[in-house]
Structure 1
Amino acid sequence: MAESFGRQKSEKEKAGSMTATNRLPVWFIPHGGGPCFFMDPPAKAPNAWKAMEAYLRGIPAAVGQQRPRAILIISGHWQENRPTVTAAANPPLIYDYFGFPPHTYDLRYPSPGDPELAAEVIARLKAAGIDSGEDLSRGFDHGVFIPLLLLYPDADIPVVQLSMVHPLDPARHIAIGRALAPLRDEGVLIIGSGLSFHNLQNFYGADRRVLAVAETFDAWLTKAVTNADPAARDAALAAWDQAPGARISQPYEDHLIPLMVAAGAAGADQGVRDYSDHVFGAPISGYRFG
């Protein structure tokens, strides 16, 4: 019988969706600064991106033995008036960074898209009362292809990108993630891609006073994400801008909102901080659910 969400499941997928043991985790990952992992390291901080790179490369092992059939990723670099998915069979790349070495504009990530998954995302959002749409021409921005070059460098897993929604209401994005949570039981790896600290004026050579406040926000964010009560977690994240240091760490929250989608998709799974480092003095965290 045809599924109501746009495609037929294989018997293997149906069996997998019945057991939580086959449920894939959800991540909120840092994607660095532009093509930082594919450049010569900065002379003043040669190890600045090394720990983050190692973390991203280690995620496939942390996923476990079940290989994702597809990746659904939400980047801090795409906003629309409603949730929108890339629906092309072979999306191009968008080199939306500026002033970097010429070779970084020759990076390639020829992962196929997944029009069937895109249709399923739209159908699940519709079932939750959330209007959404598709984009047949948009490609993957650097918040997608840069980290995926480290996670799955062979580019052999289909990828669909989901936009954020303007204005960036955190509760709305938690609800979007909640509607898409069942995809985890169907072999879809859901990733939020951003940065837990994104004050660009104070990133490179950050002011010590800013960094002290950023540490306070990072501690608050980790406490919120790792709360064992999912309702309390979601309530805290929905009010993130009331946290100490919030607007210093995130003057504009585009790089934090992907975390809200990840938290919504987490359901009852408790979050853990599986990455913590300081890049140019700024605290950066990554989180896993499940």
Structure 2
Amino acid sequence: MIEDAHTMPVLYLSHGAPPLADDPVWPGQLAAWSASLPKPAAVLMVSAHWEDAPVALGATATVPLVYDFWGFPQHYYEVRYAAPGAPALAEQVRKLLRGPGTAVQEVPERGLDHGAYVPLVEMYPDADVPVLQMSLPTLDPRALLDLGRKLAPLRDEGVLIVGSGFFTHNLRALTGDGSVHPVMAEFDEWGREALAAADIDALLDFENKAPAPHLAHPRTEHFAPLFVALGAGESELSAPRTVIDDFWRGLAKRSIQLG
């Protein structure tokens, strides 16, 4: 155990594309959110932008970022975030996840992708918190819930577990005037109600229970990190707290805290 470690909450946040960092509201929302939390001993980040099975652990030393986007202005490729690596956290994750029939990959050259570093730049701008990124090994909600459960003991070691996705994610629904397509609004409202009611069964079955799920999420990788967060924060499922609940260019930024 880390001496004097806080039991950390668990977050699911909507990280956005790189231009979200230029939004007049979102950076301040994330800065205020992180300021309200105990400072973590380390961050374990599960981003929608890294799918690999079996579970893979990224760099445990400071390596270059992964600019996994195309066609943006040059300044987005000049962002730097030299957070310390987290080798001790990686070892803890290995111990929690390894077992009969379960492997953990090491990908030591893989840096943080934009689903990880874009929000962290706003939350911990001094890059003084060690960060480890872990892959999404599947998009199956129940398997991800179980993965989150296995990771939950890290919270007592002062580790902030963050699922980074987007509460709705259909790039065809992006707008330039701030309007919101009814499908995005309806899915977001359904999700708000399911979270408020702690209706985990409905959330797990969102592809059948939510309104127009395949329009809100043509592919579900941006919703998937929510289930890692719900598993890691299972003891607080009765009281998830929405911290950010507005929209960016028509997509729902709903972001929650457990604990």
Distance 2:120 2:178 in 1: 31
CA offsets, 1:206-260, max 9 Å, x none? 997x8212212111112222334xxx42x22221111112111111011111111
Q: Which amino acid aligns with 2:73?
A: P
The answer to whether the 8 Å contact 1:30/1:52 transfers is no
Change (3 A) 1:26 1:129: farther
Distance 1:26 1:197 in 2: 20
Distance 1:248 1:184 in 2: 34
Where does structure 1 lack aligned partners over 5 or more consecutive residues?
A: 1-8, 17-21, 39-48
Larger C-alpha radius of gyration, 1 or 2? 1
Percent identical? 38
Q: Which of 219, 223, 227 in structure 2 is aligned with 1:260?
A: 227
TM-score by length of 1: 0.82
Q: Which amino acid aligns with 2:207?
A: D
The yes-or-no answer on 1:177 pairing with 2:143 is no
The yes-or-no answer on 1:283 pairing with 2:239 is no
Q: Which of 59, 76, 81 in structure 1 is aligned with 2:33?
A: 59
After the TM superposition, which residues 80-99 of structure 1 pair with which residues of structure 2 at under 5 Å, given as runs? 80-99=52-71
After the TM superposition, which residues 1-290 of structure 1 pair with which residues of structure 2 at under 5 Å, given as runs? 9-10=1-2, 12-13=3-4, 16=5, 22-38=6-22, 49-63=23-37, 66-126=38-98, 130-166=102-138, 168-205=139-176, 211-228=181-198, 232-233=199-200, 235-242=201-208, 243-269=210-236, 270-290=239-259
Distance 2:100 2:81 in 1: 32
CA offsets, 1:158-209, max 9 Å, x none? 000011014x11111111111001111100001111110110011135997x
Secondary structure of 1:268's partner? helix
- Greater RCO between the two (CA within 8 Å, min separation 6)? 2
The answer to whether the 8 Å contact 1:92/1:139 transfers is yes
Change (3 A) 1:182 1:215: same
Distance 1:266 1:136 in 2: 28
CA offsets, 1:70-129, max 9 Å, x none? 000111100002111114322320111111121221111000111121121121012597
The answer to whether the 8 Å contact 2:167/2:251 transfers is no
TM-score by length of 2: 0.92
Figure out how many residues of one structure are paired with residues of the other and give that number.
Answer: 256
The answer to whether the 8 Å contact 1:128/1:179 transfers is no
Deviation, structure 1 residue 60: 1.7
Secondary structure of 2:51's partner? strand
Distance 2:53 2:26 in 1: 32
Q: CA RMSD for the aligned pairs?
A: 2.1
Q: Which amino acid aligns with 1:159?
A: V
The answer to whether the 8 Å contact 2:167/2:253 transfers is yes
Distance 1:149 1:200 in 2: 23
Distance 1:281 1:30 in 2: 13
Distance 1:109 1:207 in 2: 30
